[in-house]
A and B are shown apart, each in its own frame.
Chain A
Amino acid sequence: MSNTPLEDQVHDALHRRVDSIQHAPLTVTDVRHRARRIQRRRTAVAGVAVAAVLAIAIPFGLSATGSGQRSDVPPATQPPSPTPTLQLGSTVMVDPRGAEVVEETPVPLLDVDAPSLITPDGTTDLPHVYDTITPYLDGYVGVALNDQPGVPPVAIEFLGADLRVDDGGSPTGGLIVSPDGRRIGWSEYDGTRWRVFVADPAGQVEWVETTFPPSAETETVIPVGFVSDEAVAVRAMYDLGDTKTFVAGGGQPVEVQGLLQADAASPSLGVVAGITEFRPQGTCFGVVDAIARDGDPVWTTCDHRLGPFSAGGAYVVGISAEADGNGSPTITVLDAATGKEVVTFEAVLPRRTVGGFWTQMAWVGDEALVVRMFSGDDYFMMRLGLDGSVQRIGIPSAGVSGLQVAVPS
């Protein structure tokens, strides 16, 4: 053997090393999970054929928040619609016990105690509790809430079509969905710095990643809303110094002046809403241009804390400035361009009963709000139409925690 040519000896050595190995450790399921991770992380555009290969089934929730699926969201260039039929400045009393009951939800809901995701198309059991969850590729992406030691209490998680968590686990400041459902955005802490991602839930367009300077995990970057098709407004919390507002649209974040704290944004208008001023007599709020970034408020109000913009950008929610841990006794819908009051919804509560509206809510286009209301120990999911209609979503929940919107606007 020692006198054979080197190449023959190499040939023999390699064959002897492995010819007896008959390992087949991989299953098709292993490979499909890996393929999904590759597709998710590809920086190049994933083709339609690839998406088709991976499409085990169209997630049912896609009809509500998936790519290009929402029919109730008008293009940004269209005028606001519908025009409320109520007289401007009207007040609508919201009595959940006397309201019409509907059995379907216009937006995805979470049953906290199940836990499960409820959409117009059905109910899906979830592996654990999520604060927010939305379709992504052939599965979901969600903000998971954990209470185990050694695990980030709030983490971004990617679920496959089988609802198995197959990626994620990084600390997050939140997950948002654009009003037309064509993009999602979230923040992640990688151990050194915060990053903000904007992605196509269908996986066919390259991710947009914005990288923040190195910071502590506690200096959380919180997405508050989209300001354009590909950019989100974020609130950056700092251990020292003021909270800052940035636009994350790829590369480095760009600071937006004029707000002490960003709370919401609108891609139709390209604006960010939030706190503009702390005064001895109360806090004031306003809307600033995220594109011009000159810091001059478009309008301000000291009567309402500003909440989410409607899908088409026609309206913005005004919560009572006196809202506290018990919620807001009223929700006022404001004209997003001027700040003028359009309609106010006021909670009807039994005497000596604490209650109000949660500040986490979802718009149904420009037409209605879905909001959780509580009255004493009872919780109700309400649909509040800008035409003055009030409906209770009569879907039962698994436990006392009740329902909440799965994707807050």
Chain B
Amino acid sequence: MSATLVDMGSQDRRTDKDADFSAYMSARQPALYRTAYLLTGDHAGAEDLLQNAFAKLYLSWDRIRDRGALDGYVRRVMVNENNSLWRRAWKRREHSTDTMPETGTTDTYDDGMGGALWSFVQTLPPKQRAVVVLRYYEDLSEAEIAEELGISPGTVKSQASRALAALRARAPRSLNPHETGDAR
């Protein structure tokens, strides 16, 4: 490779950029991986989803001036990608029915109820599932979710409402709002 043709200024800028990007990746990868895992439900899918999102962030690094918005950018890419048609098709193959999938694990903190709920979350349509993950794992408000996903707050509210209704319908009686006092 000829050094004489290399634009040294561009290379310096790229080195800075790579250092910044690397630092961000190092700091945020575990947390974003967890979100990816919740969106996909498996490690291979999570890794693929996160790698794709990081790659798009890498391509857009210069254009994102607000470094505080980076996590939101990555989450938006992951959600949109996970919702895309081919991934949904792939998901349908993975979850072809509404039957509760095998959890393979028992939640030792609540007699398996957490594991059961996780299984039900995996049966939700991708958009509802994304709202559930952002709302109840990332603890974002409906307005923040709306802004992050580029949809209206009303859509967020309705997706969340449908998701909770579906979870109630599929969950054991112990999660029935009339029995648990959860009337929201």
- Candidates A14, A22, A124; contact of B38 at CB < 8 Å: A14
Is B73 interfacial (CB 8 A cutoff)?
A: no
Contact: A6 with B51, CB < 8 Å? no
Write out, one digit per residue, whether chain A residues 1-24 have a CB within 8 A of any chain B CB (1) or not (0).
111111101111111111101111
Instruction: Tally A residues with Cβ within 8 Å of B.
Output: 50
Contact: A17 with B184, CB < 8 Å? no
Select from chain B the residue with minimum beta-carbon distance to A47.
B63
Taking CB atoms and an 8 Å cut-off, the chain B residues in 13-72 that contact chain A are 13-14, 17-18, 21-22, 25-26, 29-30, 33-34, 37-38, 43, 46-47, 50-52, 54-56, 58-63
Residues of B within 8 Å of A93, CB to CB, are: none
- CA A12 – CA B121 in complex, angstroms? 13
Select from chain A the residue with minimum beta-carbon distance to B117.
A13
Contact: A122 with B30, CB < 8 Å? no
Contact: A12 with B114, CB < 8 Å? yes
Is B90 interfacial (CB 8 A cutoff)?
A: no
Taking CB atoms and an 8 Å cut-off, the chain A residues in 89-130 that contact chain B are 121-122, 124
- CA A63 – CA B2 in complex, angstroms? 11
The minimal Cβ–Cβ distance linking A265 to chain B, given in whole angstroms, is: 30
Is A240 interfacial (CB 8 A cutoff)?
A: no
Contact: B164 with A7, CB < 8 Å? yes
- CA A34 – CA B59 in complex, angstroms? 10
Contact: A13 with B107, CB < 8 Å? yes
Contact: B132 with A10, CB < 8 Å? yes
The minimal Cβ–Cβ distance linking A116 to chain B, given in whole angstroms, is: 13
Contact: B113 with A13, CB < 8 Å? yes
Is B182 interfacial (CB 8 A cutoff)?
A: yes
- Candidates B7, B33, B58; contact of A25 at CB < 8 Å: B33
- Candidates A1, A19, A26; contact of B34 at CB < 8 Å: A19
Q: A24-B29, A26-B47, A53-B14 known; A38 and B59 CB under 8 Å? A: yes
- CA A28 – CA B25 in complex, angstroms? 8
Stretch at the interface among A54-62, A192-200, A241-249, A336-344: A54-62
DSSP majority for the B interface?
helix
Is A32 interfacial (CB 8 A cutoff)?
A: yes
Q: A6-B167, A12-B114, A15-B137 known; A38 and B52 CB under 8 Å? A: yes
- CA A35 – CA B25 in complex, angstroms? 14
Is B99 interfacial (CB 8 A cutoff)?
A: no
Select from chain A the residue with minimum beta-carbon distance to B171.
A6
Residues of A within 8 Å of B29, CB to CB, are: 23-24, 26
Contact: B47 with A58, CB < 8 Å? no
Taking CB atoms and an 8 Å cut-off, the chain B residues in 127-141 that contact chain A are 132-133, 136-137, 139
Size bracket of the B interface: 35 or more
Q: A10-B167, A34-B54, A49-B63 known; A3 and B180 CB under 8 Å? A: yes
The minimal Cβ–Cβ distance linking A68 to chain B, given in whole angstroms, is: 14
Give the interface centre of A12, A31, A39, A59 by most chain B CB atoms within 10 Å. A31
The minimal Cβ–Cβ distance linking A217 to chain B, given in whole angstroms, is: 25
- CA A14 – CA B6 in complex, angstroms? 49
Q: A6-B180, A60-B2 known; A31 and B25 CB under 8 Å? A: yes
- CA A241 – CA B92 in complex, angstroms? 44
- CA A11 – CA B134 in complex, angstroms? 10
Give the interface centre of A18, A26, A38 by most chain B CB atoms within 10 Å. A18
Is B110 interfacial (CB 8 A cutoff)?
A: yes
- Candidates A39, A53, A57; contact of B5 at CB < 8 Å: A57
- CA A19 – CA B31 in complex, angstroms? 9
Q: A10-B136, A13-B118 known; A23 and B63 CB under 8 Å? A: no
Contact: B180 with A5, CB < 8 Å? yes
- CA A34 – CA B52 in complex, angstroms? 7
Residues of A within 8 Å of B184, CB to CB, are: 5-7
The minimal Cβ–Cβ distance linking A166 to chain B, given in whole angstroms, is: 12
Contact: B114 with A17, CB < 8 Å? yes
Write out, one digit per residue, whether chain B residues 91-116 have a CB within 8 A of any chain A CB (1) or not (0).
00000000000000001011101110
Contact: B51 with A3, CB < 8 Å? no
- CA A296 – CA B6 in complex, angstroms? 49
Contact: A60 with B137, CB < 8 Å? no
Residues of A within 8 Å of B125, CB to CB, are: none
Contact: B1 with A57, CB < 8 Å? yes
Offer 19 A-B interface pairs, CB within 8 angstroms, sorted by A.
Answer: A2-B175, A5-B181, A6-B167, A6-B180, A10-B164, A10-B167, A13-B115, A14-B38, A16-B114, A18-B38, A19-B34, A28-B25, A34-B54, A50-B60, A53-B59, A57-B6, A57-B11, A58-B7, A121-B2
Closest 7 CB pairs of A and B: A5-B182, A34-B55, A13-B117, A60-B2, A13-B114, A35-B55, A18-B34
B residues lining the A interface (CB < 8 Å): 1-7, 10-11, 13-14, 17-18, 21-22, 25-26, 29-30, 33-34, 37-38, 43, 46-47, 50-52, 54-56, 58-63, 107, 109-111, 113-115, 117-118, 121, 132-133, 136-137, 139, 164, 167-168, 171, 174-175, 177, 180-182, 184
Given A2-B175, A6-B182, A14-B133; 6 other pairs, CB 8 A cutoff: A5-B182, A14-B38, A35-B56, A35-B58, A49-B62, A58-B5
A residues lining the B interface (CB < 8 Å): 1-7, 9-19, 21-26, 28, 30-32, 34-35, 37-39, 49-50, 52-60, 62-63, 121-122, 124, 161
